[in-house]
Amino acid sequence: IHGDMIESHALHVYMLALPDFLGYPDAIAMSADHLDAVKNALALKKAGNMIHKAIGGREVHGMN
The pLDDT tens digits for 14-40 are 888 999 999 999 999 999 999 998 899
**Helix, strand or coil for residue 61?**
coil
61 located within any domain: no
Q: Let me know if residue 50 belongs to a domain.
A: yes
Distances (CA, A) of 43 to 13, 29, 40, 64: 13, 19, 5, 26
Is 16 inside any structural domain? yes
Helix (H) or strand (E) holding 17: none
Q: Which domain holds residue 34?
A: 2-56
The number of folded domains in the chain is 1
The answer to whether residue 62 is domain-embedded is: no
The answer to whether 51 and 10 are in contact (CB under 8 A) is no
9 inside domain: yes
At residue 64, does pLDDT exceed 70?
no
Give domain status of residue 46, yes or no: yes
Q: Cα(26)–Cα(32) distance, rounded to whole angstroms?
A: 11
Specify if 64 maps to a domain.
no
Domain membership of residue 29 (yes or no) is yes
Residue 16 half-sphere exposure toward CB, CA atoms < 13 A:
6
pTM listed for this prediction: 0.73
